[in-house]
Amino acid sequence: MNLKSKNFLTLLDYTSEEISYLLKLAKTLKTEKKEGTAHQHLKGKNVVLLFQKDSTRTRCAFEAGAYDLGMGVTYLGPSGSQMGKKESIKDTARVLGRMFDGIQFRGYLHEDVESLGKYSGVPVWNGLTDLYHPTQILADFLTVQEQLGKLKGVHFSFVGDARNNMGNSLMIGAAKMGIHFTAVAPKELWPDEALVKQCKAFAEKSGGSITLEADKWKGTKNADVVYTDVWVSMGESKETWRKRIGALHEYQVDDSMMNNASQDAIFMHCLPAFHGKDTEVGLEIANTFNEDYPTIQNGEMEVTDSVIESSKSVVFDEAENRMHTIKAVMLATMKNME
Ligand code: CP
Ligand code: NVA
């Protein structure tokens, strides 16, 4: 398997064999890290991390991962660089490609990360765009493998805004890996029809399946994995909250939904999650909408505190696995591993 110089922009560009290879490499790197075995395979190289949106996990996973691999790291945040303001993405790509050996981009337009990939001449990794969040899927799939021992044949229900970057990317990854994926959401939040069609074709080959379901009980019945994400994504306006809470408040992942899933089901979330009043946004939303929507009065939105704190929840394993899987992506695309 040689992925050297390949961009990592969406799992649409990766075969199931390539995804399996990255998961296996991540597992090796995780074991080595736990054993204290150094793996500075990219010593002397440098990467730049471009962020138009905020991040905790993705930034830290790339930074810690790059250091472990022996690399230098430069972080450019939502303010402070010329990108997009005084300089086009295409020019930025050609400048950074002369200085760095790899580029991570988190931003709004998927076309921007494609432009970086096209013009920089070095591997580009998508750390989240409005459309896709592929590095998160690798961490999630490594977690599912660890918890359930397999990916193929797993019944995976994504509950919530099924046409956001997470819904899209999980559906693509599931379709490629033989997972039975159900998007559980009101019809207006179902994924784009063309993408569903594409994923159904992948699923036919892999032995998986894609189902869209508005009934939350049918959609989560006997699921092995119940996954959710925030109801309003970064970049969406504040006004979106009212509309989205209206559409999704009945889809909150609570104990009754987990009990409807398989007895051994796990709960997953890419994080950050609103499950209490201890965040500025959670508090504000709870105070604004609690009269109309009592279920969110404690700042619990897409998931209740009781579910995320339960023994079924593997959210912090997912968070840790961001680092091991991102390391695998950097290593595989920067060095010939054959
Ligand atoms: N899950 C995830 O991408 O988290 P951050 O926004 O903190 O990077
Ligand atoms: N859908 C979320 C994912 C965050 C990791 C967002 O884009 O904000």
Flag residues of the chain having pLDDT under 50.
Answer: none
First to last CA, the chain: 6
**What is the per-residue pLDDT for 297?**
85
**What is the per-residue pLDDT for 80?**
87
Is position 270 annotated as part of the catalytic site? yes
Task: Provide the β-strand partners of residue 326.
Answer: none
CATH number for region 155-223+225-260+266-311: 3.40.50.1370
Contact by Cβ (8 Å): 142, 326: no
**What is the per-residue pLDDT for 112?**
98
Question: Ligand 2 pocket: which of 105, 110, 133, 321 to mutate (most atoms <8 Å of CB)?
Answer: 133
Is CATH 3.40.50.1370 what the domain over 11-133+320-334 is classified as, yes or no? yes
Q: Is 270 in the pocket of ligand 2 (CB under 6 A)?
A: yes
Q: Is 213 in the pocket of ligand 2 (CB under 6 A)?
A: no
CB-based burial, 65-94: b 16+ in 10 Å, e otherwise: bbebbebebeebeeeebebeeeeebeebbe
Contacts of 71 (CB under 8 A, 6+ apart): 42, 43, 44, 45, 46, 47, 101, 330
Ligand 1, atom 7: nearest CA belongs to which residue? 56
Q: From the CA of 166, how far away is ligand 2's center (Å)?
A: 7
What counts of helices (H) and strands (E) characterise the chain?
A: 13, 9
**What is the per-residue pLDDT for 135?**
99
Fold match flag (11-133+320-334 vs 155-223+225-260+266-311)? yes
Residue ranges per structural domain of the chain: 11-133+320-334, 155-223+225-260+266-311
Contact by Cβ (8 Å): 128, 303: no
Contact by Cβ (8 Å): 331, 41: yes
Instruction: Give DSSP secondary structure letters for 5-36.
Output: T--BS-GGGS-HHHHHHHHHHHHHHHHHHHHT
How are strands ordered across the β-sheet holding 46-51?
72-76, 46-51, 102-106, 124-126
| 146-170 confidence digits (pLDDT tens) | 999 999 999 999 999 999 999 999 9
Give the phi and the psi of residue 163 in degrees, each rounded to 5: -115, 20
**What is the per-residue pLDDT for 337?**
87
DSSP 313: B
Q: What is d(CA 322, CA 328) in angstroms, rounded to the nearest whole number?
A: 10
Instruction: Provide the CA 201 distance to its chain's centre, in angstroms.
Output: 22
| Mean pLDDT taken over the chain | 97
Which atom of ligand 1 has the smallest separation from the CA of 56? Answer: 7
Q: One of 52, 104, 136, 145 is an active-site residue; which one?
A: 136
Is position 297 annotated as part of the catalytic site? no
**What is the per-residue pLDDT for 146?**
98
Model-level pTM? 0.98
Q: Is 287 in the pocket of ligand 1 (CB under 6 A)?
A: no
Give how far Cα 255 sits from Cα of 90, 258, 293, 304, 306, Å: 48, 5, 18, 8, 7
Contact by Cβ (8 Å): 106, 77: no
Q: Is 137 in the pocket of ligand 1 (CB under 6 A)?
A: no
Q: What is d(CA 235, CA 269) in angstroms, rounded to the nearest whole number?
A: 19
Instruction: Give DSSP secondary structure letters for 93-150.
Output: HHHHHHH-SEEEEE-S-HHHHHHHHHHSSS-EEES--SS--HHHHHHHHHHHHHHHS-
